[in-house]
Amino acid sequence: MAIRNVRKLGDETLETVCRPVKKMTDHLNELIDDMFDTMYDANGVGLAAPQVGVLRRIVVIDVTGEDPYVLINPEIIETEGEQENYEGCLSVPGKMGIVKRPARVKAKALDRNMEEFTLEGEELLARAICHELDHLDGVMYTTKVEGDLEDVNPPADDDEEDED
């Protein structure tokens, strides 16, 4: 397992629609492990494959630090309500902005064994699902920010950040 370089805003990879995964391979399993390592190392709560330069429909999410999810070929099948909150992104370091997202989201995806499952999330998990799935379609949260992006001071300690 390894820490991969996270692509930054302006990299064309982040604006490209990703291809579906047709079968699990050793390479993709290694990618998933590396994505978790990279996300945790950066104190993020989610990471999409294009953020590490791989144009495949793969997302990892863990909003609690103890509940990791792998979503392969995910799609949102249901939303409810609305929430408005700050959002950040590992591909846009040091910045945050207010984004409206659904308050509750239900998504279907494949797990590492290529078995279909559904994932329902509220608040931060709903936000993370929406944010990461946007990455798979080449959409950055910066296009959805209401108002201006704000500078964020890095935390003085190892506090968990609300970034993907």
- Hey, how many other C-beta atoms are within 10 angstroms of the C-beta on 71? 24
Told to judge if 160 belongs to the known catalytic residues of this protein, a careful annotator would answer no
Distance CA 136, CA 59 (A): 8
The residue behind tokens 């590492």 is 112
- Are 148 and 99 within 8 A, CB to CB? no
Tell me which amino acid residue 46 is. G
The encoded tokens of residue 85 equal 């909150």
| Catalytic choice (132, 146, 150, 160) | 132
C-alpha to C-alpha distances, 127 to 74, 86, 101, 138, nearest whole angstrom: 14, 10, 6, 17
Instruction: Assign 160 to helix, strand or coil.
Output: coil
33 alpha-carbon distance from chain centroid: 15
Distance CA 128, CA 93 (A): 16
Residues noted as catalytic: 132
